[in-house]
Amino acid sequence: MVAKQGSTDLINGSINLFSLDEFNKVTPVPVDDIQSFQSYGITDKGFSDYDAGFISLNKSFSRGLQFQANWTWSHSIGNQGVDQQSGSSANSPYNLNLDRSSESFDRRHVVNLWWYYQLPFGGNAPSSLLGRTVGGWAVSGIYTFFTGIPMHITANGDFGAYESTGTAAYCTADLLGSEGQHSGVPGANGVGTTGNVATGGSGLNLFGNPSAIFSSCSRPLISSTTQIAFDQLRALPRWNIDFSLLKRFAITERQRVEFSAEFLNLFNVVNFTNPSLSLNSPTNFGVLSNQANNPRRVLLGLKYSF
C-alpha cells in the first residue's frame, strides 16, 4: 500500500520525498525523526585540480596588419565544485571521491583569434579619384571556438544527495563520442519523439539513436555504484566569427568620413543549448530545439570627423 502511494518517488529513487510525503504519514509511529526537517553533513577535504597549457601568437601592427591568436588546453577534475554548506551538496559528504570527474566548467580547448588589416589598395595615388575610391579600406574580425562542457544523463534520484538535488544515471552504453548534431532523428519507443519532423519538431537530436542510449541507463544503486560519472558526455562545441568592413574617405586635410559595416555571427551559425537528458522526460531526451546564440546581425555606421 505504501509503495503504491509513493510509486513515483520510488521509481525516481527519491527516498527523501518518499519518506517525508508517504512512509512517515501512514505508519503508526514515524520511522524518521521528522522534528528535524532538514539536516546537513558538512566535511572538509573537497578538491578541485586545474591543469592547463596555452600558446599565444602576437603580431604588432606593421605593414597594415595586426593580429593575435590564442589556444588554451585545460582539464579540471574535482568533486563538482559545489559548496555543501550552500545546500548543493555532493552525493556523499563522507566519500567525496564518489563524485570525482571533470568539473562542470571544464573546457578542453578554447581558441580565439582577432585581426585588423588595412587593405593595400590605392596607396600609390591617395589624392586621385581612383585612390580615394579603392584606398582606405580595412577589415577586422574575431574568431572564437571552444569545446563543450561535461554533461550527464540525469537520474533525478536522491542517492544521498541533499534535498533531492539529483545525480547522474548509470549507463552501460559508451556515451562519450556518441554525441553530435544528428538530423532526421524520428525517436522511438517514446524516447526523443518531440523532435520528430512529422509532429512539428526539428528532427535534430544529440544522439543518432536516443532510444538505445536511454534504455542503457538506470538510476544508480547505493549498494553497488562506486563512482558517479558527471562527465559521461560533452556538450556540442561552439564557434563564431564576427567580421567588420571599414572605409575611410578623406574630404580635406581635417575632414574625414568613415563608413563601417559589422557582421555579428557572419556565417549565421546556429549553436544549440544543451538538450534535456533526464530519465524522467523521455520524449524530450536529447532533442536539440533552442538556439543558444543570436542569429546574424548587420550593423551599419557612418561617422564624420572634423
For residues 144-161, give the mean pLDDT. Answer: 82
**Least confident stretch, 71-85, 134-148, 290-304:** 71-85
pLDDT for position 66: 97
Cβ neighbors of 236 (< 8 A, separation 6 or more) are 148, 179, 180, 181, 206, 271, 272
At residue 122 the predicted structure's pLDDT band, cuts being 50, 70 and 90, is low
Q: What is the mean pLDDT of residues 198-211?
A: 85
129 or 55, greater pLDDT: 55
pLDDT at 302: 95
Quickly tell me which residue has 605593414 as its cell: 63
* CA distances, 94 to each of 39, 89, 90, 97, 220 (Å): 14, 11, 9, 9, 17
What whole-number distance in Å separates Cα of residue 144 and Cα of residue 253? 39
- What's residue 202's pLDDT? 77
* DSSP classification of residue 119: -
Average pLDDT along the chain: 84
Instruction: Report, in angstroms and rounded to the nearest whole number, the Rg of the chain calculated over CA atoms.
Output: 28
Indicate if the pLDDT at residue 131 is higher than 70.
no
pLDDT at res. 125: 42
pLDDT tens-digit readout, 69-117: 999 999 999 887 655 444 455 666 677 787 888 988 899 999 999 999 9
* C-alpha cell, 233: 558526455
Boundaries of every domain in the chain: 1-37, 38-305
> Can you tell me the mean pLDDT for 257-274?
95
Classified as helix, coil or strand, 17 is helix
Name the grid cell of 30.
514515524
- Give the DSSP letter string of 124-182: T-TTSHHHHHHSSEEEEEEEEEEPPPEE--B----TT-GGG---BPEE-S--TTT-S-B
Q: Check whether 123 has a pLDDT greater than 90.
A: no
CA–CA separation, 218 and 153 (whole Å): 10
Confidence (pLDDT) at 149: 93
Q: Which residue has the cell 563512482?
A: 227
Is the CB of residue 243 less than 8 Å from the CB of residue 179?
Answer: no
